[in-house]
Amino acid sequence: MTIKHALISVSDKTGIIDLAKKLIQYDITILSTGGTAKLLSEAEISVTEVSDYTGFPEMLDGRVKTLHPKIHAGILARDDLSAHQEALDKASIPNIELVIVNLYPFRQTIAKQNCSLNDAIENIDIGGPTMVRAAAKNYTKVAVVTDPQDYSLLCEELAANQGSISLATRFELAKKAFTHTAAYDSAISNYLTALDTDYRHKDFPDSLNLNFNIAQHLRYGENPHQKAAFYRDETITPGSLANYQQLQGKELSYNNIADTDAAWECVKTFDSPACVIVKHANPCGVAIAETTLRAYQLAFATDPTSAFGGIIAFNRIINADTVEAILKQFVEVIIAPEITQEAQQLLLQKNNIRVLILPLQNGHHHYDLKRIGGGILVQTPDILNITVADLKIVTKIKPTAQQLEDLLFCMASCKIC
């Protein structure tokens, strides 16, 4: 499928000038909407504005730009039906073989602290999703690109196929496009159904739409007879496990991921250098100390038997001394905000150990979810760290400062149990 006409309408204009220059090299005619057309024109790229192409000006403050038969017939006409092509020829409508569209920044808008309902409504894209869905539906003759990160793929395909895009690539781009519009509509639904009749925000939306993208196929699930996969939330929370970078070791298993998440969420709770060892979803050793080495030694001493084959998490950079101590036991996963170069070299002695680093950032999922038969339980995350000031002493015998400190440590440790 040789591309002759491309329609470009993007809110996120990252990389669009360089891409348009590439398209011109293949004699592709570019159609574009107002802001994008102006940007391309200022970059001295030949472009036809959509309003000039359709013969109908943008109206209603830009709410109506691309909703026109000359646009959508050019996108939706099937190449296997002669009647479709005859209809285009009769109406003098050329085929549009490439659609490059990304949508109004709805999520970014509602994330702003003082976002009004009117601001949110005006950032609901209408023409963009319509073009994206039309192009994705007709992927057998149209390529649709919704993510600037796919511009390089598009250019590679054009170079490899003399100005064409393969059917396999068009299908992959179409799947991504439908996923993109589904997530966009989900965000709108979640936002609007979380407003009451007086437009005040409720704790929970009436409809909760969740979007996750597959990150990894796992060898098996909690048990060997179960199949499993790991999906990442489309909006990843800073500091959450899904952001991990793996330095070495085998792929994480289902149980590795679950236990590592428990260890990481626990160790993040502490302000002092801390070590948490988790086995079978529960901590078998938790300690705070002056150094990571001492914290590890104390955590391991809590239950050395259960710590065998466990997950070890730290909330500080770990050094060679700490790693030397860890290597004396069998461990599945080590996770820390950072690992020194010397420590990394030591870990290579046992290259099957899964070693992860993850910046220690404050961030929490908007909701905690728990699957039950036929539904999910939803709650706000437990981010409360109780301090001495929150405690009310009601006994005749008052606890010592050390006892209070121990109590608060235990309460923090038990949050993930």
Give me the DSSP letters along 345-376.
HHHGGGTTSEEEE--------S-EEEEETTEE
Give me the pLDDT at residue 416, please.
65
Give me the pLDDT at residue 417, please.
59
pLDDT under 50 in the chain at which residues?
Answer: none
* Distance of alpha carbon 42 from alpha carbon 362, whole angstroms: 42
Give me the pLDDT at residue 79, please.
80
pTM of the complete model beyond 0.85: no
Q: What's the pLDDT tens digit per position in 177-208? A: 999 999 999 999 999 999 988 888 888 899 99
Give me the pLDDT at residue 159, please.
87
Give me the pLDDT at residue 197, please.
85
Give me the pLDDT at residue 316, please.
95
DSSP classification of residue 232 = E
Residue in the block written with tokens 């170069």: 341
Give me the pLDDT at residue 337, please.
96
CB distance 318 to 339 below 8 Å:
yes
Diameter of the chain measured on Cα atoms? 94
Give me the pLDDT at residue 170, please.
93
Q: Measuring CA to CA, which residue among 268, 266, 236, 241 is closest to residue 256? A: 241
Instruction: For residue 378, list its beta bridge partners.
Output: 369
Q: What's the pLDDT tens digit per position in 406-416? A: 888 888 877 76
Give me the pLDDT at residue 274, please.
95
Indicate which residues carry an active-site annotation. 137, 280
DSSP classification of residue 414 = G
Give me the pLDDT at residue 35, please.
84
- Give me the domains of the chain, ranges plus CATH numbers: 5-192 (3.40.50.1380), 238-357 (3.40.140.20), 382-416 (no CATH)
* Distance of alpha carbon 346 from alpha carbon 337, whole angstroms: 17
